[in-house]
Amino acid sequence: MFDILQERSLVPNIIENCSQLEKNRINLIHLPSALGYGFYNDIEVITDAEIFKAPTLKKTRYRSAIQNVVAINSKEDLTVGDFVVHYDYGIGRYLGLKTVELNGLRNDYLKLQYENMELFIPVEKIVLLEKYQGVEGSIPKLTKLGTNEWEKKKATIREMIKWLRYSE
């Protein structure tokens, strides 16, 4: 990434941690478990995966094993306070819609609260969300971002599906 920026006469700010982020600069930091596109203290964060990978929708066979989710077709299907399941990040709480203007472009983002931080998801990626509907009165545990907690949960569900398939 550093070389690509230099080829375009852009000088990035190389930093060791998020406390060194500078506004109005390109900041490069190596994080082993980067989350993806979003905002951190009003600074836009874009991972190399967001820049270099073509967007793809992952086939999510494990979703059929989760009985308490409902498809979300548009942002109107969400109400502030709803619990949602994001394919990549896990269980969060919907906090509302936020319009952000960056470099003269305006875009709407879904503001989601996770155990340890808030994350802004572009409304174009709403297909990665499903509404969580548990038993009335139950409150799901929010996923802690930056850990492999959600990946472990998905792997466990995949194993359960595999076990059920072979036990028939």
Q: What is the mean pLDDT of residues 29-55?
A: 63
**CATH class for the region spanning 61-167:** mainly beta
Q: Give the pLDDT mean for 100-123.
A: 89
* Residue ranges covered by each domain of the chain: 2-52, 61-167
User: How far is the CA of 86 from the CAs of 25, 132, 165, in angstroms?
Assistant: 30, 10, 25
Least Cα distance to 114 among 151, 143, 85, 146 occurs for 143
Residue 97 has pLDDT above 90, yes or no: yes
| Longest pairwise C-alpha distance within the chain | 61
Backbone angles phi, psi at 122, to 5 degrees: -60, 140
pLDDT of residue 28: 77
pTM above 0.85, yes or no: no
- Provide φ and ψ at 64, rounded to 5°: -65, -20
Tell me what the mean pLDDT of segment 57-76 comes to.
Answer: 60
Has residue 61 got a pLDDT over 70? no
